[in-house]
Structure 1
Amino acid sequence: MSNVEKLLRSRDYSTIRAESSPSGDNHWLYMHDNIGSGMRPCFRNDLLDDMWSFTSSIIKRDSERRPGQLRHFVLASAASAFNLGGDLELFSQLIRANDREHLLAYARRCVDGVYGLHTGLGGDVRTIALVQGDALGGGLEMALACHTIVAEEGVGMGLPEVLFGLFPGMGAYSFLCKRVTPQLAEKIILDGNIYTSDEMYKMGVVDVLVPKGQGEIAVQELIRQQQRAPQAHLAMNSVRNIAQRVGYDELMGITEVWVDTALALGDKSLRMMERIVRAQERRLGASNAA
């Protein structure tokens, strides 16, 4: 019955809202909880700090796990967007400074996070992305790392990095290839189009598509269904980590290609990146005024 317990807020964070059931079986993390303060809904370092602090706190050691205990982690957003991706303002600054060390450090932190979600936060957790607003670039990558993507209708989802000469370098290709053919994965990446969640569902990228406003209810029902057969879903986590595993070394190898590609970008690409940052800021201002 853990899935129907009242969720309690965890300790205060500056960028997220984290809630857990008293039993510790059910955890929800809402990104961008303070978006009204003017922060863009992207993966800033402070957001990554809070996200990985919380997810690390719910990972159990082998000695702490109870046989047959299936837990759930839901990644959602408190903002109108799920996540608009990497911190392009930071990328531009680091690229202009030719600062490979810090760009790689940022990429590694993202890889650590998506790898944790992909492997079930130690193996006993089913991870669910609840996409109720646009998921672009790294935002979509983070959703793809989860076991299940639940999306509301009419949401924008895509990988637009090609617009400024880059590709999504924190797992998108690897995770997409577990859901669609490599040919379709490359098309999605290289076209740079923004698809609707409805289109992504038809392609097989989104697992569960629900009407606008029904996302949380759908996730709660999914958790209830999986808790009826916890042993089977725990076993499926193990099977998935054997048959559909994306290795850490694979993710890091790809992200190093991403870093080197980013550092080779010219001024035209960087100015496009900076224009996108300004567009995100305008979007945030319009959202706050609504």
Structure 2
Amino acid sequence: MTNIEKLLRIRPYPHMRVESDPANQVHWMYMHSQLAAGDRPCFRPGLMDDMWSFLNSITLREHQREPGRLRHVVVASDADAFNLGGDLALFAQLIRAGDREHLLSYARKCIDGVHHIHTGLGGDVRMIALLQGDALGGGFELALSCQTIVAEEGVQMGLPEVLFGLFPGMGAYSFLSKRVAPQLAERIILEGNLFTSEEMHAMGVVDVLVPKGQGEAAVEDLIRRQQRAPHAHIALNAVRGISQPVGYDELMGITEVWVDTALALGDRSLRTMDRIVKAQTRRSYTTKPDAVAL
């Protein structure tokens, strides 16, 4: 797929942009399009609404799928970060209010999305995360839910939730344990350290590591290679679901533990959340200069 072909169809959303090839075979979904100064490239409810709405719109029912037709969705970012994770400002607000209903609603929306991604939108789609900027917390969980992670060198990723007394509750343990030993997954979660893409590649978490600026070309090459054996890759989606399942009930059970743990956090943890939000806001993440404006 050439870049010209990719730009033939552009679908606008308030918080992201989508580029699709003419055959609707490959879709590139860029989060954080036209990020305003001071905005944080995190999982705000509006972004999740856009993402899940688009993914649901291209999900085919079983009788609509054509044998041997393999589709791809690439999750990337228009900002200079992939995704910084959950909306900490919203979390702190809901925790202070003791609002379990809305915190659980946010968590459930996350689980609905990552589970749908992890199952390949029903089985005929290979999901690729393209990391050209930092992926933290829920942003890293999103990448882990995809079938393939392609990262450029120098990207940082990790699960820092332990810094404010919490743990990543939207699939991190389940997805990470499919890529590394459960003991290592637990250590990564509990230590809260950040790792470079080079380190994550050495661990086996990142599938494809490329020099900075070569991420999109690497993804296009990966798609071309997978399209040479579409039946095998569709079958592998099914095999993975049998051999290494991550069920919806498992994810929801874990995220309910996350909600109850979050609601038990004290003022010290909430002040730490506030400081992180302020630091992210001061950092002033922006839209990449080469991103297409709608």
Shorter-chain TM-score: what band? Answer: over 0.9
Deviations 1:164-222 (A, max 9, x none): 00000000000000000011001100010011000000011100000000000000000
Q: Specify whether residues 67 and 2 from structure 1 end up closer, same or farther in structure 2 by C-alpha distance, changes over 3 A only.
A: farther
Map 1:1-290; keep pairs closer than 5 Å. 5-284=5-284
Select between 86-95 and 32-41 the one with higher mean Cα deviation: 32-41
Hey, what's the Cα distance between the residues in 1 that align with 2:133 and 2:11?
25
Offset of 1:4 from its aligned partner?
8.3
Is the contact made by 2:38 and 2:282 (CA closer than 8 Å) also made in structure 1? no
What is the aligned length?
289
Select between 17-26 and 254-263 the one with higher mean Cα deviation: 17-26
* Secondary structure at the counterpart of residue 81 of structure 2: coil
Hey, what's the Cα distance between the residues in 1 that align with 2:2 and 2:246?
30
Is the contact made by 1:2 and 1:26 (CA closer than 8 Å) also made in structure 2? no
Is the contact made by 1:3 and 1:223 (CA closer than 8 Å) also made in structure 2? no
Offset of 1:66 from its aligned partner?
1.1
Hey, what's the Cα distance between the residues in 1 that align with 2:11 and 2:41?
21
Hey, what's the Cα distance between the residues in 2 that align with 1:16 and 1:39?
14
Is the contact made by 1:83 and 1:136 (CA closer than 8 Å) also made in structure 2? yes
Structure 1 residues not aligned, in runs of 5+:
none
The two structures have a TM-score, normalised by structure 2, of 0.95
Deviations 1:235-267 (A, max 9, x none): 101101111110000000000000000000000
Deviations 1:110-153 (A, max 9, x none): 00010011000111000000000000000000000000000000
Offset of 1:12 from its aligned partner?
1.8
Hey, what's the Cα distance between the residues in 2 that align with 1:145 and 1:153?
20
Hey, what's the Cα distance between the residues in 2 that align with 1:123 and 1:257?
29
Hey, what's the Cα distance between the residues in 1 that align with 2:242 and 2:2?
28
Structure 2 residues not aligned, in runs of 5+:
290-294
* Secondary structure at the counterpart of residue 151 of structure 2: strand
Indicate the structure whose relative CO is greater, using CA pairs within 8 Å and at least 6 residues apart.
2
- Structure 1 outlier segments of 4+, above 6 Å: 1-4
- Aligned residues: CA RMSD: 1.7
Q: Which amino acid aligns with 2:277?
A: V
Q: Identity of paired residues, percent?
A: 72
